[in-house]
Structure 1
């Protein structure tokens, strides 16, 4: 007897033997049991998921000699002939080879005749999407109203190519792909019934290689049995499929976790000996990282189908979650770009080295193994073996390297007050002179004790500036004068030095050649450090009026302007309110507009007007500006007015203060709108997003 392949030998012959597709079987079984039969059924799905099998079982249910039911007997002549493919009233049509309209018309000419033996004449049209448009048109009328003894069963892998006129005349059932778990379960049953020894890992390899098709899984199993001489072993299946050993993938991931570039490249070299598909290697790495991410989220959800559950859980404990996501994303991008690499192996190595170089920064509390030294040269801070210099580097204070001096001289009196440079050897009068004899190697505790009062005034970052800062050396350093005493590493720090020596905190360094002879100024004290966090405001009294009154201002005037005006003591009423309404209509610009914006009207006596001007604008005010302001008032009113301007702080709100108040209100409204925006709230909740201060600006609005 000739051998029959597993896919045909184990083809289901009844609904209860079907694997999966429960959603389709339930509808068909209920329709058969309740005698609610449609005249046309359409089965869609990928190859090997059971479309033709379900159609044949349905034909058997319709024509079984025991009657129409969802459980055909399987023993009568009709059931046996359908199983053997020789039942006369089951007409199977291959639409891929009979696409012409003449073939369809010939087929439909026999529809009107009654079945020969069975209860129904069943037309099973496979790959129906291959029919031509004329064939579909010829089929429409018959498919809509066939004779009562005819049933149409259509099957296709590409339902998008079917006309909607065909789809609307059929009951459509979409068959799902077979998951690997379902495939492994069925292969276990089949191989057990066939008495074929197997390993579970091999079945998982076959289940994933089948890619959702049960027929492909059965065919691969036939091939694996032949390859393994009657056995289905994991090593044989891996060699047959050309898949990668998971142990080597874990070797690459462990080298990546350790940060060991040597081990990483060595693992790649071992992989290259097998001549693998480097894209497939990346795919295996992504599969492992996917399972690691699942283990971190839900450890009990990790299956042991590949026998590596313990390895996956160990990696999940060792790798931080952000590293797993980062490696997965970089592997996806690297797999996409791999065809662009000049050499596949080189592209794969570059992906791994990129993962190694750009691994995420350490997260607090995240498990991480320390990175090994990759052999990258590191710049040394100071190669001078002088112990005093070493102490200066280790001390947490600012250090100034002075230019070379001829010889160290003891200093009996304090240096002049403005001089911030400390020479190599001078010390305070009460301190002993530093000799040239060797100094102990570890003076850090003593220096730290001396510098302790200055600790709040020192930033943790290196204080050396990128370029020398030109400062007038004869100008007293007021911020540094507040320091209790200058730092002397070798001195015992007897008492705070007097105020005439306001030198910055320094550490004495041995004479050594420097790149630039100019001294480097230490950082400012802590009370001035906030200036680097937020630059001073660039707006002034009259710049705010641009939003409300639309006048422009020159760049030089902006540089000479004052900070934003303070709020007024009283709101504008009476003449002050009239000035707020009048000022935008005068058409002023430049410094004249700035002066007018900081004025308020205090008295009107006929044609005599009296204004109060903020004294802060006195630098801009002169007779020319008063004349221009007077001319603008004359032109607006059409008569000659006499204007008097007094430098006095306005008690009521000026146009500049009103503009500043309106802008502040718009800013508060904009910030409140952003804070209450549902999308912003969702981003904060899901991604821990924050709104950076100073980045919200209100939209321009008409005053």
Structure 2
């Protein structure tokens, strides 16, 4: 009788990390553990936290192997590179080692389950160097269970190690966290995942397009397990290409219900151009091809985010990005300002949330995009305030892309013409700066949005040019001011002018016959300030 065939093992289990060298994206943690093992500075409790599928439970098992490995000759000690062939390594990998106990806290939440551990830790390990308890999803333990564990966790016997794993570290009591050495396992970068999936495809005898692996890595959102599950599905979905299975990008898009990037770029272009009919037609075409409305909104959000990052000067080039996509993003980044990009993001994000909970997803998607399109022609709050202040009628058209037009009006009516106007404008947002401008700055030139001054005393509270420009930008929305500091020119400051006027008025009063006679009759008399003010 022939042996029955081996049952199929899904890729996520088949390619679970068997050594620390196979653990991708967690180099900092591996280095820390390696140093601790080599120097004999092993903690009694470890806590691994991170999103699903980044290797928390695998890391716990690897630590158990590293601590109990005895080497091929049976004489080895703890090592960051367990041999994988000795009895402890093999037994732990197969989940049958008597001294390595795994417990799922999601199904063992009570204090009685913890009491069993507390009773068992008193006894030495049967055959291993350390008795190890791996508790997965430890945040699921009840409050009483955590309290019962605290004392043992703080002072366990030398032969016991605790390894905890959780996706929600915020639910683990601080008293437990303070007794553990914590490792935050990071999301795995998409490029590392794509390379990892390419290696697995080679081992499985599967041919996969680079773009297909990039799409799978992006859909995995940093989780190796999620990515391997998607890859498993993609291989099952693939067709034969010659002698091997071929996983293509178009198949992955169809399988995941994703819009291709070219279609997303066309949608964003139509959205910015304000072509209502073409936009609705494109949305329905994508829907007819099987693209989910939520995936469509997500694609627009990702593209808007990419444009904003490029606008901010960040390089976002990736292997899966085409030259056409890079050119389109660069062009939008040069044409659009930060204000319309932020508004576009907020409107798309609101639409995404509505589509996610909508009874009619495609209809909600269309309505959300129409709202984005029409809101792009509305003035932002700063522009609206300027319109109201200058008496400009609202509702005038704006140029393509949502940037507010420079509307015909009398802007000079709201702009400063004199130093006094400038001080009054700054006083609205920063009175202390206005006082310094009044007392210690002489106006050299004023041609909005440019102003040049000469300072008689330094501004003690920061950068004068920056602070004055910010105050003016805040007071006059839509205008970017430039401030220059000159070494000469400008005459007197407002304070000096006021003091000169007072001195002139005082001299004029002292020259009047009545005052001169009074001062002659009373040599010690002084002119009262109130008289000066009354005279003025």
**Counterpart of 2:89 in 1: which secondary structure?**
helix
Shift of 1:213: 1.2
Task: For 1:3 and 1:340, locate their aligned partners in 2 and report how far apart those are by CA, in whole Å.
Answer: 37
From the superposition, tell whether residues 283 and 198 of structure 1 become closer, same or farther in structure 2 (CA, over 3 Å): same
The Cα of 1:115 is off from its aligned counterpart by 1.1
Q: For the residues of structure 1 that align with 2:412 and 2:324, how far apart are their CA atoms?
A: 54
Question: 1:72 maps to which residue?
Answer: 82
Structure 1 residues 340 and 682: alpha-carbon distance in aligned structure 2, compared to 1, 3 A threshold: farther
Aligned counterpart in structure 1 of residue 280 of structure 2, from 262, 265, 272:
265
Stretches of structure 1 that go unaligned for 5 or more consecutive residues are 363-368, 373-459, 463-528, 535-662, 694-702
* Matching residue of 1:7: 12
Alignment CA distance shift 1:67-1:260 (3 Å): same
2:501 equivalent in structure 1: none
Alignment of 1:481-520 (within 5 A): none
Looking at structure 2, the residues matched to 314 and 533 of structure 1 have their Cα atoms a distance apart, in angstroms, of: 39
CA distance in 2 between partners of 1:361 and 1:680 (Å)? 35
Q: Using the alignment, how far apart are the partners of 1:146 and 1:82 within structure 2?
A: 22
- Identify the residue that residue 311 of structure 1 maps to in structure 2: 325
In 2: Cα distance, 1:353 partner to 1:93 partner: 52
Deviation at 1:183, TM superposition (A): 1.4
Aligned to 2:234: 224
Q: 1:198: how far off?
A: 0.5
Residue 180 to residue 691, structure 1, CA distance change in 2 (3 Å): same
Are residues 1:197 and 2:207 paired? yes
Counterpart among 40, 44, 47 of residue 52 in structure 2: 47
- Secondary structure in 2 matching 1:36: coil
Structure 2 segments unaligned to the other structure (5+ residues): 1-5, 71-75, 240-244, 380-397, 402-406, 416-423, 438-458, 478-532
Distance in 2, matches of 1:89 and 1:669, equals 72
Q: CA deviation at 1:34?
A: 0.6
Aligned to 1:176: 186
Of the structure 1 ranges 64-73 and 679-688, higher mean CA displacement relative to structure 2 is found in 679-688
After superposition, give the CA deviation of every residue in 1:461-502 in whole Å (9 maximum; x if it has no partner): 79xxxxxxxxxxxxxxxxxxxxxxxxxxxxxxxxxxxxxxxx
Matched position secondary structure for 1:231: strand
| 1:327 aligned residue | 344
The residue that corresponds to 2:384 in the other structure is none
Partner of 1:448: none
Residue 249 of structure 2 corresponds to residue 234 of structure 1:
yes
CA deviation after TM superposition for structure 1 residue 148, in Å: 1.2
Greater relative contact order (Cα < 8 A, sep 6+)? 2
The CA deviation at 1:533 is 6.4
- The offset of 1:339, in angstroms, is 6.5
Distance 1:119 1:312, change over 3 A: same
Match of 1:473 in 2: none
Residues 372-424 of structure 1: per-residue CA shift (max 9 Å, x gap) = 9xxxxxxxxxxxxxxxxxxxxxxxxxxxxxxxxxxxxxxxxxxxxxxxxxxxx
Q: Distance in 2 between matches of 1:126 and 1:238?
A: 34
Work out the number of aligned pairs and report it. 405
Q: Would the alpha carbon gap of residues 275 and 169 (structure 1) be closer, same or farther in structure 2, given more than 3 Å must change?
A: same
What is the deviation of 1:14? 1.5
Structure 1: how far apart are the matches of 2:347 and 2:174? 43
The Cα shift of 1:118 comes to 1.0
2:218 is paired with a residue whose SS is: helix
Against the structure 1 CA distance between its residues 231 and 41, is the aligned structure 2 distance closer, same or farther, given a 3 Å change threshold? same
By percentage of residues, which structure has more helix? Answer: 2
Q: Give the match's secondary structure for 1:13.
A: coil
Q: Tell me what 1:26 maps to.
A: 31
CA distance in 1, matches of 2:411, 2:127: 97
Question: Would you say the 8 A contact 1:291–1:302 is kept in 2?
Answer: no
Is 1:253 matched up with 2:268?
yes
* Whole-Å separation in 2 of the counterparts to 1:533 and 1:235: 57
Once the two structures are superposed, residues 585-630 of structure 1 have per-residue CA deviations (whole angstroms, 9 ceiling, x without a partner) of: xxxxxxxxxxxxxxxxxxxxxxxxxxxxxxxxxxxxxxxxxxxxxx
- The more displaced of 155-164 and 37-46 is 155-164
SS at match of 1:41: strand
Determine if the alignment matches structure 1 residue 164 to structure 2 residue 178.
no
Give the secondary structure class of the aligned counterpart of 2:124.
coil
Report the equivalent of 1:348. Answer: 365
- After superposition, the Cα gap between the structure-2 partners of 1:293 and 1:2, relative to the gap in structure 1 and judged at 3 Å, is same
Q: How far off is 1:56 after superposition?
A: 1.0
Query: For the residues of structure 1 that align with 2:45 and 2:66, how far apart are their CA atoms?
Result: 15
Q: CA RMSD, aligned part only?
A: 3.7
Return the index of the structure with the highest Cα Rg: 1
Q: Can you list the C-alpha shifts for 1:150-195, whole angstroms capped at 9, x where unaligned?
A: 1111111122222222122111111111222221121112112222
Please point out which of 39, 61, 67 is paired with 1:56. 61
Residues 153 and 316 of structure 1, relative CA distance in 2, 3 Å threshold:
same
- Partner of residue 140, structure 1: 150
SS state at 1:29 partner: helix
Q: CA deviation at 1:28?
A: 0.6
User: Following the alignment from structure 1 to structure 2, what is the Cα–Cα distance between the partners of residues 213 and 178?
Assistant: 6
- Aligned-pair CA distance for 1:257: 4.4
Q: Deviations over 1:217-276 (max 9, x none)?
A: 111111111111443221221121112222322222232344433322321231232354
Task: Please report how far the alpha carbon of residue 683 of structure 1 lies from its aligned counterpart in structure 2 after TM superposition.
Answer: 7.0
Task: Note closer, same or farther for the CA distance 1:203–1:683 as it changes in structure 2 (3 Å cut).
Answer: farther
> 2 CA distance for matches of 1:73 and 1:61?
9
Q: 1:236 to 1:123 in 2, by over 3 A?
A: same
Change (3 A) 1:300 1:140: closer
In the other structure, the counterpart of 1:654 is none
TM-score calculated relative to the size of structure 1: 0.52
